[in-house]
Amino acid sequence: MPGKSPMVPKGGDPLKDLYATILARKGADPETSHTARLFSRGTAKIAQKVGEEAVEAVIEAMRGDRDKLASESADLLYHLLVLWADAGLTPDDIYAVLATRQGISGIEEKKNRKA
């Protein structure tokens, strides 16, 4: 695509593929990359976008519009990945947290958080 940096090759995990593309945009031209523009605007702006996209997803869920919920969910995941990259977190860091919770009821896990 004219003006676009190439996508990072696919590795089988869509979130990791997108994350790799996002990382590759660090230091890219904010005029041609939305991700580079977000990084240049800083953590507060990235966090704000995550909040906005989450609210938009919730609105579409409450409206019962599945197509728009899917679209807003993709926006939310993209912006969340940018937030992770900005914070130095990787998808593997989050997957590791999820793995520690596997097989544990959410109710049990919440009790342990308070302990």
Ligand X SMILES: N=c1c2ncn([C@@H]3O[C@H](COP(=O)(O)OP(=O)(O)OP(=O)(O)O)[C@@H](O)[C@H]3O)c2ncn1[C@@H]1O[C@H](COP(=O)(O)O)[C@@H](O)[C@H]1O
Residues in contact with ligand X by the rule CB under 6 A: 4-5, 7, 18, 21, 25, 33-36, 49, 75, 78
Q: How far is CA 13 from the centre of its chain?
A: 14
In sequence order, the 6+-apart residues with CB closer than 8 A to the CB of 35 are 21, 22, 25, 28, 82
Q: Which C-beta is closer to ligand X: that of 27 or that of 110?
A: 27
Instruction: State the Cα–Cα distance between residues 9 and 82, nearest whole angstrom.
Output: 18
Tell the smallest beta-carbon distance from residue 97 to ligand X (Å).
23
Tell the smallest beta-carbon distance from residue 61 to ligand X (Å).
18
Tell the smallest beta-carbon distance from residue 75 to ligand X (Å).
5
In sequence order, the 6+-apart residues with CB closer than 8 A to the CB of 60 are 68, 69, 71, 72
